[in-house]
Amino acid sequence: MTEPPSRAALVAGPDAETHELIDRLVAVALRGLPRMQVDGEFVFTLRGVPDGAGGWRTEPAGRSLRYAAITALGVQRLGPYEQSAVLAGGDLTGLTGRLVARLDETSSLGDKALITWAAAATGHEMLPWALERLEHADTGGAVFTVDAAWVLSALAAARDAGADAEAHYERARRRLVDGAGQGGLYSHQVGGTGLVPGYRAHVGCFADQVYPIQALARAGDPEAVKLAGIAADRIVAAQGDGGQWWWHYDARTGGVVEGFPVYSVHQHAMAPMALLDLAEAGGPDHTAAIRRGLHWMVRPAETDEPMILDELGVTWRKTARADPRKVVRGARAATTGVREGWRVGVLDRVFPPTAVDRECRPYEFGWLLFTWREGS
């Protein structure tokens, strides 16, 4: 039987430049991830610092259980040799087992969901216990939208692995299905209110759209896929002329509240990941938008600075406005809360989006591998 084409081949089609770019990004991830581990744990970030010769070097900072779980999801798409290389000689079963053993160390529902998802994806023997701990933590009421989406994705993966978590799955699915705003997009919370200030209750970030699209696609039933398709159509319609996936949206209208920052991980991994999952579930085909987003990585409209540093094994995190107190985002959340679509245009001139955030985090490459590698 003929093997189906890879995701890279489907997205690139006859465009050799796109295919080469995807291969380049995967190679950067494979080079960078081994450098993101300290004493067997994944760091929170690699920060770029001047090397004294006009270039950059990186310094690790912090540790992150969440980023380790996302990395595990990406690494499970690799063959044994590449897994060992990325994990600096370690193995995926061991990494997943260490994550599951730390489930009770975190109070974050999202962290617990990601670890459970990794256990399901890798077929770990501790999956039933992870599912029990996840259900114990998911007590109902308002939750952050990203966490709710990760819970559903974890339970969908567990279902696919043959685990019995049907009642929890149905609750998680219904919470996300009912959580979309009138504009087809998601605000920052579902299942209730009170987690975010009232002036920005209508606002959802890009992650608040992408992870529900992915989770609903992975649920796979017609109602879920239809809702995911509506959200996908909204973010694609709003995509920037330079291929940018914008940052803040109005869940009531589907419009953009504030475009910046533009994150590299959204361009090379998260948007393709969700949109490809949706297409594979029978939803709309947005490969043209995926291609546009990918090419922002080599032709960002906001800067002449390279966003991909091949030898360093990083992609710089984002282009952003130079407003350290997030003045623009706060102002636009407040003004659109008063009147839909109200923008204070002078802010664009005072705070142009020319800053580059020179850091790179493990989850960015975890999602990149999860998106573009097909599995061992």
pLDDT in tens, the chain (376 residues): 556 789 999 999 999 999 999 999 999 999 999 999 998 899 999 999 999 999 999 999 999 999 999 999 999 999 999 999 999 889 999 999 999 999 999 999 999 999 999 999 999 999 999 999 999 999 999 999 999 999 999 999 999 999 989 999 999 999 999 999 999 999 999 999 999 988 889 999 999 999 999 999 999 999 999 999 999 999 999 999 999 999 999 999 999 999 999 999 999 999 999 999 999 999 999 999 999 999 999 999 999 999 999 999 999 999 998 766 565 455 555 555 444 654 545 556 556 778 999 999 999 999 999 999 986 4
What does pTM read for this prediction?
0.93
Q: What is the pLDDT of residue 375?
A: 66
3-state secondary structure of 56: strand
- The torsion of the CA quartet 290, 296, 298, 302, rounded to 10 degrees, works out to 180
All residues at 6 or more sequence positions from 53 whose CB lies less than 8 Å from its CB, including other chains: none
Written as six digits, the tokens of 180 are 């979309």
Chain centre to alpha carbon of residue 253: 23
CATH ID of 7-372, from 3.20.20.60, 3.30.450.80, 1.20.1250.20, 1.50.10.10 = 1.50.10.10
What pLDDT does 207 receive?
A: 98
Query: Cα separation of 149 and 231, whole Å?
Result: 14
Q: Are 195 and 188 in contact (CB under 8 A)?
A: yes
196 three-state secondary structure: coil
| Beta-ladder partners of 105 | none
